[in-house]
């Protein structure tokens, strides 16, 4: 009789209806299968497994100790004598693909039963790994966000400090430009003062003789003529002089001593020249020593002659020299540059035009600590500004 051998395939099991054995070892005991499955012709069926009478693994028999001594490492892990790290635990459980192949029965019934239990643990471990990976990504993203926020705050702080430095630099440049403008203005004032003094020193046309240098009374002759007429032409008096005679012009230094009445020439005749300009036609009596500026009227007056403007005493110099004012401004600029170099900003300065070179007024604040402002000559130029 000829028989044919048929290839047996793994049966399809419904995991929800089939009661699987607990293949994971308990904490206090060894691995003991609770169920056993036997294949019958009618299909797969699972029946409770009964322990053999010859090889019993109950604690009362000696087989329990024999079974435990065969796997001391598992016994130590169950009793907590060996620390079970997660990496070693992950290595013990196969991957999800391998467990799926074991569930299909490709690697035997024992691995199939074991995979049915380990697949849940594998899914749990994969979920925990996914959660850890997600937490790591979230932590990394949070750290990157904090780093970007810190960089943004640093950039904003640097930008704010840069803007403040630009403003301070602009203020320093503006203050220096104002100081240079005042310095240039003082230089122009000094030049105008020197030009005015030079013009005052130059000779000008004499207003008395209109530049001719001759006496206007005698027209340069130095004498004036007088004619004595007789009351009777027919009669002639020998005691009295009748006729024309000359005498000295008093406008150009001559005198009339009365000798002209007797027909004699005056002893002292005039020079015929203008006494104001000494016959030169121009006058230059305003020198550097006789020129001053009157503060009340702001005009040039003749010193040493008195009058309503200057009074009985000669005019004195009320305003300080512009060169002293310029020297004070240059000293102030030097002190200002030193203070800026040291980090102390000076908020500008102003001229005090009321103290007239004396002690500063109480309403003003002295900048350079000497009790004196840049008080000076330029009051007529900047008083209306």
HEC string of the chain equals CCCCCCCCCCCCCCCCCCCCCCCCCCCCCCCCCCEEEEEECCEEEEEECCCCCCCCCCCCCCHHHHHHHCCHHHHHHHHCCCCCCHHHHHHHCCCHHHHHHHHCCCCCHHHHHHHHHHHHHHHHHHHHHHHHHHHHHHHHHHHHHHHHHHHHHHHHHHHHHHHHHHHHHHHHHHHHHHHHHHHHHHHHHHHHHHHHHHHHHCCEECCCCCCCCECCCCCCCCEEEEEECCCCCCCCCCCCCCEEEEEECHHHCCCCCCHHHHCCCCCCCCCCECCCCCCCCEECCCCCCCEEECCCCCCEEECCCCCCCCCCCCCCCCCCCHHHHHHHHHHHHHHHHHHHHCCCCCCCCCCCCCCCCCCCCCCCCCCCCCCCCCCCCCHHHHCCC
Answer whether residue 174 is part of any domain: yes
Q: Which of 107, 96, 123, 103 is nearest to 20 (CA)?
A: 103
Rg (CA), the chain: 66
For residues 67 and 57, is the Cβ–Cβ distance under 8 A?
yes
- Give the up-direction half-sphere exposure of residue 365: CA atoms within 13 A in the CB hemisphere: 4
For residues 326, 330, 332, 337, the Cα torsion angle rounded to the nearest 10 degrees is 160
Answer whether residue 272 is part of any domain: yes
218 and 290 inside one domain: no
223 and 259 inside one domain: yes
119 and 216 inside one domain: no
207 and 172 inside one domain: no
Answer whether residue 223 is part of any domain: yes
Answer whether residue 27 is part of any domain: no
Q: Which range of residues forms the domain containing residue 188?
A: 74-199
Could you say which residues of the chain have pLDDT below 50?
Answer: 1-10, 15, 18, 20-61, 87, 90, 286-319, 344-385
262 and 343 inside one domain: no
Answer whether residue 5 is part of any domain: no
For residues 241 and 262, is the Cβ–Cβ distance under 8 A?
yes
| pLDDT in the model for residue 83 | 62
Answer whether residue 16 is part of any domain: no
92 and 162 inside one domain: yes
Give 260's contacts (C-beta < 8 A, 6+ positions apart): 226, 245, 246, 247, 266
The total of structural domains in the chain comes to 4
Sign of CA dihedral 142, 148, 149, 154: positive
| pLDDT in the model for residue 262 | 77
Give 295's contacts (C-beta < 8 A, 6+ positions apart): 318, 319, 356
What values do phi and psi take at 294, rounded to 5? -90, 130
172 and 213 inside one domain: no
326 and 222 inside one domain: no
| pLDDT in the model for residue 364 | 38
Answer whether residue 296 is part of any domain: yes
Answer whether residue 49 is part of any domain: no
100 and 167 inside one domain: yes
Q: Hunting for tokens 């690697």 — which residue is that?
A: 107
90 and 186 inside one domain: yes
90 and 113 inside one domain: yes
184 and 88 inside one domain: yes
């Amino acid at each position: 009789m000829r028989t044919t051998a048929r290839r047996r395939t793994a049966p399809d099991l419904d995991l929800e209806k089939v009661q699987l054995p607990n293949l994971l070892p308990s904490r206090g005991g060894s691995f003991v299968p609770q169920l056993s499955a036997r294949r019958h012709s009618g299909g797969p069926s699972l029946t409770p497994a009964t322990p053999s009478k010859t090889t019993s693994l109950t604690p009362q028999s000696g087989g329990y100790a024999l079974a435990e001594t065969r796997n001391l490492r598992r016994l130590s892990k169950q009793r907590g004598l060996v620390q079970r790290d997660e990496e070693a635990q992950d290595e013990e459980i196969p991957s999800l693909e391998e467990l799926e192949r074991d569930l299909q029965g490709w690697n035997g019934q024992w691995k199939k039963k074991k995979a049915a239990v380990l697949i849940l643990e594998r899914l749990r471990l994969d979920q925990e790994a996914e959660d850890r990976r997600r937490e790591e990504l979230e932590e990394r993203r949070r750290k990157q966000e904090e780093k970007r926020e810190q960089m943004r705050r640093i950039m904003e702080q640097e930008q704010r400090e840069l803007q403040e430095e630009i403003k301070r630099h602009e203020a320093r440049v503006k203050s220096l430009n104002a100081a240079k403008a005042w310095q240039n203005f003082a230089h122009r004032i000094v030049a105008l003062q020197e030009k005015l003094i030079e013009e005052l020193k130059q000779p000008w046309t004499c207003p008395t003789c209109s530049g001719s240098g001759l006496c206007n009374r005698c027209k340069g002759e130095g004498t004036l003529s007088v004619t004595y007429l007789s009351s009777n032409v027919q009669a002639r008096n020998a005691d009295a002089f009748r006729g024309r005679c000359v005498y000295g012009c008093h406008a150009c230094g001559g005198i009339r001593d009365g000798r002209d009445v007797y027909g004699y020439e005056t002893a002292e005749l005039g020079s015929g020249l203008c006494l104001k300009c000494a016959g030169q036609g121009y006058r230059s009596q305003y020198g550097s020593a006789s020129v001053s500026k009157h503060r009340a009227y702001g005009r040039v007056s003749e010193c040493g002659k008195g009058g309503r403007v200057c009074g009985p005493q000669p005019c004195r110099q009320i305003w300080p020299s512009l060169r002293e004012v310029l020297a004070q401004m240059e000293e102030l600029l030097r002190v200002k540059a030193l203070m800026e170099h040291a980090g102390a900003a000076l908020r500008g300065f102003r001229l005090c035009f009321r103290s007239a070179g004396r002690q500063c007024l109480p309403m003003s604040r002295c900048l350079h600590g000497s009790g004196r402002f840049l008080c000076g000559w330029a009051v007529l130029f900047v008083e209306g500004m």
